[in-house]
Amino acid sequence: MIWSRRSLVFWYYVINERNLTNILVNANHEKNTGIYIHIPFCVKKCAYCDFYSITDLEIIPSFVQSLVREVKMVDAPVSDVDTIYIGGGTPSLLNPENIGCLIDTICNRFCVISASEITMEVNPGTVTPEKFAGYRKAGVNRINIGVQSFSDQSLDFLSRIHTADDAVCCIKDARRAGFENIGLDLIYGLPEQTEKTWRFDLESALKFTPQHLSCYMLTYEPDTPMTMDLMYKRFKALSEGKTGALFDFTARFLEENGYLQYEVSNFASSIKTRSSHNQKYWSNVPYIGLGPSAHSFIDNCRSWNVRSVNKYMQRIQAGQRPVAETEILDTKQQMMEVIYLRLRCVEGICMADFETRFNVCFNQSFGHVVDLFESKRFIKIVDGHCRLTSSGMRFSDSIAARFIEEI
Ligand code: SF4
């Protein structure tokens, strides 16, 4: 199986529901805390999506009040904060005043450093030039746009609410509002997709010289309308071989155009424009998740909030934190997490750090697995790091699973 945005979410759930040592850039990102805010509202559910969101938009104002209260309730000892990520759902359904209020509350509650990366996810069809200007004034300095495709036919299949023209307008409006750090999300592996049609999406995206691109493979999540249609044979999924070829093509094509893959699904125009926030998820760095279904990770303790807006608001109104469950990761779980998440990243696993942290000899534990995948050219050892080659990236989860068998 190829890694996708869904696979990352899988880890949020499996390690218990979207950092590992030695991220080479911005050393402080290894220590500072990241804050994720989940805005669980969408105009309409997309057929492929299993993220938690609802379509009752009337409760947004009271929900924002609950979120503000949750920020104030956080009692964990937290290091300086240097990333805030407002994701969803569709955060751009909130007006700039709401976003400003949330950012201000976070800045009052935590020590947020001045150069923090403050990202907001935006969906075409839900945002105007005035809203972009307001978000910027509120403190947002990085915009991630859920374009998904520049083909109306593909957008229709994905049941997105927007057209390709809406996506183009959205990107242009964001630039005109002064956002210099823009990321675009795209989805590939749609039925009958060819290298030519996927190339059209990539080329269309590159015309706007985005700083960041996330290319997610379409996955069929249980119980989504799209998966039901697939089961009832209303369409045929693209074969694994063809999807894999598109995966390889993506990395090659983007590299030729100046974007470097730094994680299985993520590409940046430079080291500086990598997503600092998302890198925390792939390292051993604390992050706090606020809002329904959001996950937190602090000192090997993972917790997650209730996955219901109503229950979430009821808990907050009763003065209780909306945490559904908490789990302390044991050593084996920590090792699994390091292997799975670090192998997703181009830097790979720093073997010395691994040995120090877990008091094991990396070679003794995993030497023959490394040999096996080195012989297939899926793994290479570089500067004391065990990392996947570009061909290995395609199989990162199954390779990681083989490592984990040895723990
Ligand atoms: S807009 Fe995003 S979060 Fe909302 S339903 Fe569609 S894919 Fe899911």
Which pLDDT tens digit goes with each residue over 296-337?
999 999 999 999 999 999 999 999 999 999 999 999 999 999
* Residue of 339 and 24 predicted with greater confidence: 339
Please tell me the residue having the least CA distance from ligand 1 atom 3: 89
- Range with the lowest mean pLDDT among 63-72, 150-159, 201-210, 281-290? 281-290
Q: How far is the CA of 319 from the centre of ligand 1 (A)?
A: 30
Which H helix or E strand runs over 176? helix 164-176
Report residue 28's pLDDT band, with 50, 70 and 90 as the boundaries: low
pLDDT above 90: residue 101:
yes
pLDDT above 90: residue 114:
yes
Report residue 42's pLDDT band, with 50, 70 and 90 as the boundaries: very high
Q: How far is the CA of 286 from the centre of ligand 1 (A)?
A: 26
Domains and CATH numbers, the chain: 5-281 (3.80.30.20), 331-404 (1.10.10.920)
The verdict on the CB of residue 42 being under 6 Å from ligand 1 is yes
Q: In sequence order, which residues have a C-beta less than 8 Å from that of residue 345 and are 6 or more positions away?
A: 20, 23, 262, 263, 279, 282
Averaged pLDDT of the chain? 93
State how far the Cα of 373 lies from the Cα of 349, in Å rounded to an integer.
Answer: 15
pLDDT above 90: residue 56:
yes
Per-residue model confidence as pLDDT tens digits over 218-256: 999 999 999 999 999 999 999 999 999 999 999 999 999
- Strand 260-263 to 212-217 pairing: unpaired
Please tell me the residue having the least CA distance from ligand 1 atom 8: 49
Q: How far is the CA of 45 from the centre of ligand 1 (A)?
A: 6
Of 123, 220, 221, 309, best ligand 1 pocket probe by most atoms within 8 Å of the beta carbon: 123
State how far the Cα of 245 lies from the Cα of 279, in Å rounded to an integer.
Answer: 26
The verdict on the CB of residue 139 being under 6 Å from ligand 1 is no
Of 38, 46, 92, best ligand 1 pocket probe by most atoms within 8 Å of the beta carbon: 46
Please tell me the residue having the least CA distance from ligand 1 atom 2: 89
The owner of tokens 């984990």 is 404
Q: pTM of the predicted model, to two decimals?
A: 0.92
Q: How far is the CA of 63 from the centre of ligand 1 (A)?
A: 18
Please tell me the residue having the least CA distance from ligand 1 atom 6: 46
pLDDT at res. 173: 98
Q: How far is the CA of 50 from the centre of ligand 1 (A)?
A: 8
Q: How far is the CA of 32 from the centre of ligand 1 (A)?
A: 29
The verdict on the CB of residue 87 being under 6 Å from ligand 1 is no
pLDDT above 50: residue 13:
no
pLDDT at res. 26: 41
Percentage of residues of the chain with pLDDT beyond 70: 93
Of 9, 39, 45, 309, best ligand 1 pocket probe by most atoms within 8 Å of the beta carbon: 45
Of 43, 44, 53, 170, best ligand 1 pocket probe by most atoms within 8 Å of the beta carbon: 53
* Residue of 4 and 399 predicted with greater confidence: 399
The verdict on the CB of residue 21 being under 6 Å from ligand 1 is no
pLDDT above 90: residue 40:
yes
Report residue 23's pLDDT band, with 50, 70 and 90 as the boundaries: very low
pLDDT above 50: residue 272:
yes
pLDDT at res. 29: 57
The verdict on the CB of residue 189 being under 6 Å from ligand 1 is no
pLDDT at res. 75: 87
pLDDT above 70: residue 20:
no
Q: In sequence order, which residues have a C-beta less than 8 Å from that of residue 264 and are 6 or more positions away?
A: 2, 3, 7, 344, 393, 396
Angle at 238 between CA 233 and CA 242, to 5 degrees: 160
Q: For residues 105-117, b (16+ Cβ closer than 10 Å) or e, as one string?
A: bbbebbebeeebb
pLDDT at res. 223: 95
Mean pLDDT of 266-289: 96
Q: Give the distance from CA 148 to its chain's centroid.
A: 14
Q: How far is the CA of 224 from the centre of ligand 1 (A)?
A: 12
Per-residue model confidence as pLDDT tens digits over 169-191: 999 999 999 999 999 999 999 99
